[in-house]
Amino acid sequence: MTRLLILIVILATAATALAQDITSLEKIGPVTSLTKTTNSITITCNDASQVQLTILAPDLVRVRASFTKPIPTKDHSWAINKTDWPTPRWNLTETPNQITLTTDELEVVIHRSPLLIDFRDARTHQLLNADEQPMSYDAKGLLANIMFDPEAGMFVAASKKLGFDEHFYGLGEKAARLDKRRSAFSNWNSDTPGYSEGKDPIYQTIPFYIGLQHGIAYGIFFDNSFRSYFNFGQSSQQRAWFGAEGGELNYYFFYGPSIKKILGRYADLTGHMPLPPLWALGNQQSRWSYYPDTMVEEVVSEYRKRDLPLDVVYLDIDYMNGYRVFTFNKERFPDPKALTDKLARQGVKVVTIVDPGIKHPQDKNERYHAFDQGLEKNFFQHRRNGDLFVPRVWPGESVFVDYTLPEARQWWGDLHRVYTDNGIAGIWNDMNEPSDFVDQTGKNQLDVVSYDEGEKTTHAKNRNTFALLMARGTYEGLERLRPDRRPYVITRAAYAGIQRYATMWTGDTNSTWDSLALNIPMFTSLGLSGEPFVGSDVGGFIGRGNGELLVRSYQISFLAPFCRNHKQIDGYDQEPWRFGKYYEDIIRKYLKLRYALLPYLYTTLEEAHRSGVPLFRPLLLNYQDDPSTYNLDDQFMVGDDLLVAPILKPDVTRRLVYLPEGSWYDYWTDKKYTGGTMINVDAPLDVVPMFVRAGAMISVGPSLNYVGERTQEPITFNIYPNEKGEATGTLYEDDGLSPAYKSGAFRRTKLNVRRASRGFVVSVGAAEGAYNPGARKFNFAVKSSPRISVTGMTLDNGPHEIQLR
Ligand code: MIG
C-alpha cells in the first residue's frame, strides 16, 4: 500500500513537472528554406531541423518534425492502414513571413519566424487550431529525471492554443468523462484491475482526439507509440499540448467540420472495423472460470431452461493445462470438440482466452510445443544482453513472442488451429499490455528488444503496440484457418488501428455504481476514437453486486455492441438469475429486446464498418451544433434514432432526460415529446427511459434465443413520422458469417415514408448489393396512428410502393 502511495506521488509530481517544463523546451525553427514534392513540402530550419507537411486528402494533412536533423527516410507505423492517397488539388504560396498550403477544405499557414502552424478553413479562413509555441524538443535533457525511461529517446511535444470554448473528445479508453477539457492523460498500456474514475493510464493507447469549438471539429492523431501525454488545458489557460518520451513528433490533422467526417477519415487512415460475425451481437456469458465441461453445459442449459437468450459462452484461463496456451486441461475438458458440438446444437459458440505468456518449462525434459517451437525459431523476446526475457504471468515463468516479426505473427496465428479444430468460435486476448507480475509498470521490460522492422527497438517504443500486433497475428491466423468465417477477436489492450483486428472490453471494472457510470463516457469515447465494437463486463467484474445494479447495468449493455456478463474468480455470482426471479424477469425483457432490435443494431454496426461512425454514440455526435450535448454523458444514442437515458444510481426511479431539438416518441408508450429541453420521466427498475427520433423507422425482428435460431422473420418496421409525416429507414442484411459482404454479398434496402391523403405510403428503394436473403415477410406499423399497420408484405428487389391504410 505505501509503495502504491509513493508511486502515485511520483507519477503526480512527474505530470505537474512536465506541464511546467513544456515551455522551457527547445523550440524548432525558424524557417530557412523549402522544397516541394507532388504532395508535400519539406521545410529546413536554421537549427538544422526539418518539418514535413504532406497533403493526404483535402481534409487531412500530416505533420512530421525532426529536430536538429533531417526527416528520417524510414517511415513506418503499425497503426497506419492506408498510405497510397491520390494527391488532391492543392496550392503553395509564399510571402516573406509565411508559407501557405491550400486544399479545397484546409488552409495551412506556416509562420516562418517563429515557426508556428495555423490550420484554417480554406473557404471561410476561420482559425481551427494554432500552435501556441513552436514544436519543441528536450535537447538539454531537462525532463530526463522525470521520464519513465531515460533511454527512450528525446521528449518531443506540440503545443496548441486552447480555445475559450474548446471541448476535447476521444483518446480511446480513459477512465474519465466524455469531455476531456481541463484534464490531462498519459498513455502506457497498463493492467489496472479495479480502476475507477481518474485512474490513468489504463489498458489502451489511442492517441487520437477531436477538438470542437463553436460546433466546428478537427481531429489530431499523434501517431507515436512511446509513453505519451495529452494535456487539454489542465494546467494552463492558454495551451493544450501533447508529447511523447521519444520517437517522432508525427501527427495527422483532420478537418471536419463534422465529427462524423473526421471519424470516416480516421477509419480510412487507420483501418475500418471489419464486420464481426452476427452472433457477436448476441448475448454472451463468461466467468473466471467455468470448468469442467459439464459446468459450461450447465450454464448453457440454465440459460435455455430460463428462456434467456444466449449466443456465446467463454472459457477463462482454467480451461488450459497449467495455464499453457494452446492446450486443454484433459481432466476438465477431455473432449473439447464434443463440448462445442453439443453447445452448437443449442446455438451457443465458445470463445477461449489466450494470453501472451507462454509457459517456460521448469524442467528441461518437459515438452511444450508452443515453447519448443518458438524457442527453436527464435521468436521470443530477448533482453538487450541476449538473455531470454522471462516475465512471470499466470503460468509462472513465461516468455513473450516478438510480434513485430512477421514470421512470428504467422506462427502464432497458425497455433490457433487447436482451437478452430475443436470448434472454438473466437479468441479473447487478455494480459496483453503486456502485464508482468514481476512489475506492472514496465520497468522489468525496459531493455527488452523487438525486431521492429530491423530497427531493434526497445520496450519504450513497443509496449503500447504489443497488443495490436498480437491481435493482428491472431486475426490473420483465424482468417487463414477458417477463410469462410469472419474472425472474432476481443482484446483488452490496444494501440490505434486495433479496430482492424479486434473488438474490445473495458477490463476489470468494479461491481459498483461509480464503475457503472463510467460505461457511457467510456463506450462513447472509444467510439469517437475509431473503436466501435465496445462493451464492459455486465454487472461489473470485481466485488459483490446486487440485483438492482445488475439490472441497471443490462439497461446500458443491452444496446452496447459487446454484451457480456463476466465476473472475477472470487466475486459474487451474477448470472442473470442469481438475484432471484424479480430481477431475472427484467433482465429477460432487455435481452429479448436486444435480439428483437438486432436488425436495427446490425444495420447500424454495418454503418460503423463502412463509415467509421460508431453505433453507440454520445448525443453530440448526432447534435454537434447543440452545446447542451457537449458534456452530456449520462445518456447515449444508438445510431441516429434511439436515445437512452439509463439510471446510474441506486434507489432512483425518476430522472431528467435531455431531448435535443425535434420531436421524440417514448419507446414504451409512443407518447410524443417536443425536444430542445429537459423532461422528467419515470424509470422504475423495469424501465430504462428510451426515445425514438421522430422521422425514424426502427426495424424490429422476432424474438430469438440465439442468432440463427430461425429466419429473422417477420421484420416489423416501426414508423415514427415527424411533423411533416415523413420517416426514413435502412435495413442491412448479409449472411452474418462469411467475409462475402466485403465483395458485395449484402443487401441494403432504403425506405421512405410519406403521408398520403389516406394513410401513408412507403417507397422501397431498389435493393443494393448482390446478396439474396430469399423471400421474407415484413410488417409496417405507424406509431403516430396506432390503427395504421399492414402485415405480411414482401420487399421485392426493385423499387416499389406500399400503401399503409
Ligand atoms: O489477472 O483470466 O481482465 O477478464 O477473467 C487477471 C483471468 C487475468 C483479467 C481479465 C479478466 C479475466 C482474468 N484476467
Regarding predicted confidence, which is higher, 20 or 270? Answer: 270
Dmax of the chain from CA atoms?
85
In this prediction, residues 63-76 reach a mean pLDDT of 97
430 Cα to the center of ligand 1, angstroms:
7
Amino acid at 484: D
pLDDT for 17 equals 56
Angle, alpha carbons 468-168-246 (nearest 5°): 45
How much distance in Å is there from the Cα of 803 to the middle of ligand 1?
Answer: 54
DSSP state letters, 766-780: PPBSS----S-EEEE
pLDDT tens readout for residues 537-558: 999 999 999 999 999 999 999 9
Whether 427 and 488 have beta carbons less than 8 Å apart is answered as yes
Query: Which residue's alpha carbon is nearest to atom 6 within ligand 1?
Result: 431
Query: Would you place residue 18 in the very low, low, confident or very high pLDDT band (cuts 50, 70, 90)?
Result: low
Residue 75 falls in the annotated catalytic set: no
Q: Does the pLDDT of residue 2 top 70, yes or no? A: no
Report pLDDT digits (tens) over 135-151.
999 999 998 888 899 88
Tens digits of per-residue pLDDT, 98-133?
999 999 999 999 999 999 999 999 999 999 999 999
- In SS3 terms, 199-225 reads as CCCCCEECCEEEEEECCEEEEEEECCC
Q: How would residue 795 be classed by pLDDT, with cut points 50, 70 and 90?
A: confident
Atom of ligand 1 nearest to the CA of 286: 5
Check 200, 508, 575, 633 and give the catalytic one: 508
Mean per-residue pLDDT of the chain: 96
Tens of pLDDT, residues 153-205: 999 999 999 999 999 999 999 999 999 999 999 999 999 999 999 999 999 99
Which among 47, 107, 248, 433 is annotated as catalytic?
A: 433
Q: For ligand 1, which residues put their CB under 6 angstroms from it?
A: 288, 316-317, 353, 430-431, 492, 507-508, 566
Ligand 1 pocket test target in 314, 431, 565 with most atoms within 8 Å of CB:
431
Give the confidence band of 758 by pLDDT, cuts at 50, 70, 90.
Answer: very high
Give the bridge partners for 429, in sequence order. 354, 491
Interval 374-391: pLDDT, tens: 999 999 999 999 999 999
Distance CA 673, CA 665 (A): 6
Output the residue whose Cα is nearest ligand 1's atom 8. Answer: 431
Kindly report, residue by residue over 277-308, the tens digit of the pLDDT: 999 999 999 999 999 999 999 999 999 999 99
The model's pTM = 0.97
CA of 195 to the centre of ligand 1 (A): 13
Closest alpha carbon to 420 in 467, 381, 478, 364: 478
The pLDDT assigned to 9 comes to 47
Q: Is the pLDDT reported for residue 631 higher than 50?
A: yes
What does the pLDDT read at residue 798? 78
Q: Which residue has the higher pLDDT, 479 or 23?
A: 479
Q: Determine the atom of ligand 1 nearest the C-alpha atom of 316.
A: 2
Measured by CA distance, the residue closest to atom 1 of ligand 1 is: 431
Q: What's the pLDDT score for residue 597?
A: 98
Residue 705: strand, helix, or coil: coil
pLDDT tens figures, 506-529: 999 999 999 999 999 999 999 999
Amino acid at 442: G
Ligand 1 atom at shortest distance from the alpha carbon of 492: 3
Secondary structure letter of residue 493 according to DSSP: S
Q: pLDDT exceeding 70 applies to what percent of the chain?
A: 98
Give yes or no for a contact between 706 and 348, defined as CB atoms under 8 angstroms apart: yes
Residue 146: its pLDDT value, please? 83
Q: Cell for 545?
A: 453486486
CA of 210 to the centre of ligand 1 (A): 31
Percentages (nearest 5) of helix, strand, coil residues in the chain: 25, 30, 45
Asked whether residue 49 carries a pLDDT value surpassing 60, the answer given is yes
**How far apart are the CA of 393 and the centre of ligand 1, in A?**
11
Phi, psi for 537 (deg, rounded to 5): -55, 115
Q: What is the pLDDT of residue 144?
A: 85
